[in-house]
Structure 1
Amino acid sequence: MRTLLVALPGLVLAGIGLTHPHHLDASTALWWQNMHVVLAVIFPLLGAAQWVLLEDTPKYVRYPARVVSFGYVVFYGALDALAGIGGGAMTLNGAREAAAPVFRIGNQLGTVGAWCFFAVSIAIAGCALLKHRLKAIPGAVFLLAGSFLFLNSHIYWPKGVIACTCIAIGMAATSYVSAAGRSAIEDSTRT
C-alpha cells in the first residue's frame, strides 16, 4: 500500500499535466486557474511522499531532509498560488499585463521549491543506494532523473509529464525495495 501511495501524487500530476495549457490567455484562463486550485492539494503530496521515503534513512539525514522537503511544499505551493491561481484569475479578469510581476515572483519561489525537492530526492536515493545497493539503482535513477527534469519543467507536456512519471516510478521502486523484509518490531520502534 505504501508503494502505491508514494507513487500516486506523481501519477496524478502527470495526468493533470497532459491538460496543462502551454500559454495563459483569455481562452485558457479559467482552466488554468481551476486546475491550479486542484494542484494546490496535489503538489504538497509529493513532499508527503518524500517524508514517507525518508522514514528509511538515518536520523541525521531524515530530519534535515524533512525540513528541506517542507521548503519544497512552501515554495512550490507559493508558485502554484501566485502564478497558477492568481495569474489565472488576473488573466480571466483582463489583467494579463498586470500579472507579469506575480509570475516573476511565483517562478522565483517555485525554483527554490523545485531545488528543495531535488535535494531531498538526492538524499533519498543516496540512502537507498547505500542500504540496498544494486536493488535500489532503478528507483534512484528514475527518482533523480524525474526530479532533475522537474527543476524547470513544472508539469507541462511533454517534459513535465515525463518528470512526474519518472518521480512516481522512482518513488514506488524505492519504497518497494526499502519496504521488503521489514518487521513490525522495526516499524514500532522507529521515531
Structure 2
Amino acid sequence: MRWRTFALLAAPGLVLGVVGATHPSGLNPDTARHWFLMHLAGVLVFPLVGVALAWLVRGRRDLLAIGVVVTAYVYATLYTALDVISGIGNGYVTDRLGADAVPRPPSISLAFHIGTILGDVGAWALFAGAVLVTIDVIRRHGVGPSVLPAVALLLGSWFLRDEHIFWPWGVLSCFAIGIGTGWLGVLRAAAAEPRTGAATARTAGRS
C-alpha cells in the first residue's frame, strides 16, 4: 500500500523529469516538432503535480490545508497554461512555419512573454504550497528525518521557477518534487495506520 502511494504521488514529477531530459535547449525549426510533441504530452502530466500536492492534505478543512489546495490549483492551471502557450502553441506554429520562423516572428515572442508570466505565477504557487506542506510537517513531526522529503519538495519547486524542466537542473528539480511528494505521501499513510487500527479495535470491542 505504501509503495503504491509513493508510486502514484511521485509519478508526475518523475515522468516530467524523464521527459525534460529530452527538452531542446531552444525552439527553432529543427527542434519544433519535438518541442511540440513533448509539451503535448506534458499537458497531461503538469496538473498531476498539483493533484499530488493536494492529496497530502486530503480530508482536512483547516486553513493550512485549504492553502495547500488553493496553491496546488493555481499551479496546476497557470503552469499548464505555460505549457499550452509556450510549448504546444509556439512549437506547433514554428514547426508549420519552417524556415519562415527564422528570424523568430514577433507573435511567437509575444506568446512566450505571456506564457512566461503565467508560468512564473504558477511556479511561485507551487513553491508556496511546498512551504505550507513543510510547515505542516514540522508542526506534526518536529524537525527530524520526516522533514527531508519536504526539503526535497521545497528545493525542487524553488529551482523549477527558473529552470522549468530543462536539463540538468530542471530535470533534477522534477525528480526532487516527485520523490519529495511521494515520500510525504508514504509518511501520511503511515501516520494514518495506527488510527485506523485503533478505530477497528474500538469497533470490535463494542460488538
Long gaps (5+) in structure 2? 200-207
| 2:116 corresponding residue in structure 1 | 107
| Residue 39 in structure 1 maps to residue 42 in structure 2 | yes
The SS at the match of 1:137 is: helix
Long gaps (5+) in structure 1? none
Amino acid corresponding to residue 112 of structure 1 in structure 2? V
| 1:167 corresponding residue in structure 2 | 177
Paired with 2:76 and 2:91, the residues of 1 have a C-alpha distance of 21
Classify 1:58/1:122 alpha carbon distance in 2 versus 1 (closer, same or farther; 3 Å). Answer: farther
Percent of pairs with identical residues: 35
Cα offsets for 1:148-171 (capped at 9, x unmatched): 111111100001001011111211
| Residue 52 in structure 1 maps to residue 55 in structure 2 | yes
Paired with 1:118 and 1:136, the residues of 2 have a C-alpha distance of 19
| 1:78 corresponding residue in structure 2 | 81
- Counting only pairs closer than 5 Å after superposition, residues 1-191 of structure 1 correspond to structure 2 as 1-55=4-58, 59-94=62-97, 95=101, 96-97=104-105, 98-133=107-142, 134-182=144-192, 183-184=195-196
Paired with 1:108 and 1:92, the residues of 2 have a C-alpha distance of 23
TM-score (norm 2): 0.85
Deviation at 1:184, TM superposition (A): 3.6
**Which entry has the higher C-alpha Rg, 1 or 2?**
2
The SS at the match of 2:10 is: helix
Cα offsets for 1:100-143 (capped at 9, x unmatched): 10000000100000000100011111101210221322112111
The SS at the match of 2:54 is: helix
Q: Which one is further off, 100-109 or 139-148? A: 139-148
Classify 1:67/1:181 alpha carbon distance in 2 versus 1 (closer, same or farther; 3 Å). Answer: closer
Deviation at 1:57, TM superposition (A): 6.0
Classify 1:56/1:109 alpha carbon distance in 2 versus 1 (closer, same or farther; 3 Å). Answer: same
Cα offsets for 1:16-68 (capped at 9, x unmatched): 01101011111110110111110000000000001101227662111232122
Number of matched pairs: 187
Deviation beyond 4 Å, 4+ runs, structure 1: none
TM-score (norm 1): 0.91
The SS at the match of 1:139 is: helix
Amino acid corresponding to residue 74 of structure 2 in structure 1? G
Classify 1:115/1:181 alpha carbon distance in 2 versus 1 (closer, same or farther; 3 Å). Answer: closer
Equivalent pair of 1:135/1:177 in contact (CA under 8 Å):
no
Equivalent pair of 2:20/2:165 in contact (CA under 8 Å):
yes
Equivalent pair of 2:67/2:132 in contact (CA under 8 Å):
no
Equivalent pair of 1:33/1:88 in contact (CA under 8 Å):
yes
Q: Which one is further off, 175-184 or 162-171? A: 175-184
Equivalent pair of 2:67/2:129 in contact (CA under 8 Å):
no
